[in-house]
Amino acid sequence: MSIFVDESTTVIVQGLTGGQGRFHGLRNKAYGTKIVAGVTPGKGGQDVEGIPVFDTVAEAVAATGGNASFVSVPPKMAAGAILEAAAASIPFIVCITEGIPAHDEARVYNTLASQYPTTRLLGPNCPGIISPGKTNIGITAGEIALPGGPVGIVSRSGTLTYQALYELKQMGVGVTTCVGIGGDPVPGTNFVDCLAAFQEDPETKAIIMMGEIGGAEEEKAADFIRSSVTKPVVAYIAGVTAPPGKKMGHAGAIVSGNTGTAKAKMEALAAAGAHVVNNPTEAGEKMAEIVKGL
């Protein structure tokens, strides 16, 4: 199985007529993802290589029955686009947009929690989600992902998402689902959400978790692994040499004093029973070793 999305997922691309939306939307379609519509206000009635475009998400849902949204719009429009999709009863939203103001992210997070509790947001500022051989929503290159399981991947870093997929492919190890949650301070979906879903998925037998400095999400994940995850977890934390007080890449990747350090995260995960490794290649090697013993 896969988590959150599968071959039956039907996707509406918000921003399909824009450069990034068109490029990645068509790549997703070429992978086999069921892209059923695009949305761009004022461009309803047009199409992008046969994909119909609507003025609103509600119109697109009514016409096509789409049950997922891929948001690829500029930062100032992203919050509105996410909430429009939620208001149209879209249950799963992927937002790749980078640079959304933190205030907008917090407002969206709280609005979804209070008004649209059945809607899951992945991102923003994330590479998306891929269930190899089934569906791909976002910017992950499908050719680096090997289908067939038995490993689930969750990562804050887009680059490490891709490397984890490729390392496993080199080892001949397939993936059930790979989720890039993004590294912004207010993610819609976090490590614990994904770990819980992988724990419940019967076809996911082991999990790779790619974290980084900043915040406390990895420590929360460690607590959840200790209490609720029975499957093997291989963990890597990026940013061991990052200087305190300096933002490194992601908006959420900042260390203040002893809070959010790679060392603290690695120690928490190791204490929870995860196999903590020193680099992404070791993560692939360790997982291949674990899979052989399953």
- Got the DSSP string for 178-246? EEE---SSS-SS-HHHHHHHHHH-TT--EEEEEEESSSSHHHHHHHHHHHH--S-EEEEEE-TTPPTT-
Residue 26 sits in the same domain as residue 95:
yes
87-127 pLDDT per residue, tens? 999 999 999 999 999 999 999 999 999 999 999 999 999 99
Is 90 exceeded by the pLDDT of residue 204?
A: yes
Residue 169 sits in the same domain as residue 280:
yes
Residue 151 sits in the same domain as residue 225:
yes
Asked if residue 182 belongs to a domain, the reply is: yes
Distance separating alpha carbons of residues 111 and 98, to the nearest angstrom = 20
Is 60 exceeded by the pLDDT of residue 258?
A: no
CATH of the domain at 157: 3.40.50.261
Catalytic positions, written as ranges: 250
Asked if residue 134 belongs to a domain, the reply is: no
Residue 116 sits in the same domain as residue 68:
yes
pLDDT reported for residue 260: 72
- Got the DSSP string for 118-164? T-EEE-SS--EEEETTTEEEES--GGG---S-EEEEEES-HHHHHHH
Residue 178 sits in the same domain as residue 36:
no
Length of the chain (residues): 294
Residue 258 sits in the same domain as residue 168:
yes
Residue 32 sits in the same domain as residue 111:
yes
pTM of the model: 0.94
CA 274 to chain centre: 21
* Number of independent structural domains in the chain: 2
Note down the domain range covering 54: 10-122
Residue 154 sits in the same domain as residue 280:
yes
Q: Which residue has the higher pLDDT, 79 or 256?
A: 79
**pLDDT tier, 25 (very low <50, low <70, confident <90, very high otherwise):** very high
Is 70 exceeded by the pLDDT of residue 255?
A: no
Query: Six-digit token pair at 150?
Result: 């038995």
Last residue of a domain, one of 55, 90, 122: 122
Is 80 exceeded by the pLDDT of residue 244?
A: no
Determine contact, residues 182/133, Cβ cutoff 8 Å.
no
Residue 21 sits in the same domain as residue 107:
yes
Average pLDDT, the chain: 93
Distance separating alpha carbons of residues 287 and 292, to the nearest angstrom = 9
Asked if residue 135 belongs to a domain, the reply is: no
